[in-house]
Copies of this chain bind each other. A is one copy, B any other.
């Protein structure tokens, strides 16, 4: 059906070997005259190599698997875009999978990617789930975790410096005159958001945050405030809807904080939407800083102040780690971008 190497060889009057040598500036040289004949034949027949066959023989598919914890979250989505782009510049194709926050789907995707003989695996992981990359290691396929790595994993990780980012957010809100700075975390203290939550607590109390206890992590309560002075910790899951609902509830119960650090852009967008719906003015009545700083955060109403993770650099580095084994770990700084939502006026 399709044009094959053999067709080209026949037309050029050579063996398939020389055609292959020509096509990939092969491991052996070819006489200039022959090369031209081959090239001409290939062009006339509109030959394009079958990558599947190449992959089978050369044991390298030129494809990298990218699995995203949840593709509808702007943070994961933006990371995914950058990783795909980075892979493209390296001439790799991207096999894409969305785990939709289900650890077993993540596992299954990786299984299938490995069966497809991917050359590498980029796992943009949420908390929860086991060390899915172990499978890749067993198959000697290079892998990288991005954003989060399960505790027991040995696979390299690329993630932003959460603690420093949180400290700068606290710092900044203090400079705006806020004393009581609440924090909106996820439903539990697992993963990077847990790190952020602990860093916030530490920054406010100037002493290490309490180790998360089981009761705390599983508690269905959304609001905790031991006494008037204690930092207020809010929780909701990672969805716009929950965050918007949370604003409604807090307002109804008159328990709104004056300043809030939000663990993720996804939640921050929900908070903004909820605030807008009930006429709560940001930043006048509630100052807000988010901790992802995805591109989306620049075009909310009002624009979100955020610590911006260098997603492009992270993507670059993650892909690097896949292919150059000597690459060193990467824990980039996420600078604070003051916009409107914290009380800063946009400059320019």
* A residues adjacent to B (C-beta < 8 A): 1-2, 48-53, 55-56, 61-63, 66, 71-72, 77-78, 81, 84-85, 88, 93-98, 100, 111-117, 139-140, 240-241, 244, 269-270, 272-273, 275-277, 295, 298-303, 340, 346
Measured in the bound complex, the distance between the Cα atoms of B81 and A346 in whole Å is 34
Besides A93-B97, A277-B302, 13 new A-B residue pairs in contact (Cβ under 8 A), listed by A number: A51-B115, A51-B117, A63-B95, A63-B116, A72-B78, A85-B98, A93-B112, A94-B96, A95-B96, A240-B298, A244-B299, A277-B303, A300-B300
Pick the contact of A96: B61, B84, B340 (CB < 8 A): B84
Q: List 28 A-B contacts (CB under 8 A).
A: A48-B114, A51-B116, A51-B117, A52-B55, A52-B56, A53-B56, A56-B56, A71-B81, A71-B84, A72-B81, A72-B295, A81-B98, A84-B97, A84-B98, A93-B95, A94-B95, A94-B97, A96-B96, A240-B298, A270-B299, A272-B299, A273-B298, A273-B299, A275-B301, A276-B302, A276-B303, A277-B302, A277-B303
- Shortest C-beta distance, A64 to chain B (Å), equals 11
Measured in the bound complex, the distance between the Cα atoms of B272 and A171 in whole Å is 29
Pick the contact of A97: B49, B53, B62, B88 (CB < 8 A): B88
Contacts of A295 in B (CB 8 A): 72
Query: Is there an interface contact between A140 and B299, defined as CB atoms closer than 8 Å?
Result: no
- Shortest C-beta distance, A94 to chain B (Å), equals 5
Query: Is there an interface contact between A111 and B52, defined as CB atoms closer than 8 Å?
Result: no
Q: Which residue of B lies closest to A91 (CB)?
A: B112
Contacts of A88 in B (CB 8 A): 97-98
Q: Which A-B residue pairs are the 3 nearest by beta carbons?
A: A276-B301, A96-B96, A273-B299
- Shortest C-beta distance, A110 to chain B (Å), equals 12
Contacts of A93 in B (CB 8 A): 95, 97, 112-113, 116
Contacts of A276 in B (CB 8 A): 301-303, 340
Measured in the bound complex, the distance between the Cα atoms of B275 and A303 in whole Å is 11
Contacts of A299 in B (CB 8 A): 240-241, 244, 269-270, 272-273
Contact flag A49-B273 (CB < 8 Å), given A71-B84, A94-B96, A98-B81 = no
- Shortest C-beta distance, A107 to chain B (Å), equals 13
- Shortest C-beta distance, A260 to chain B (Å), equals 16
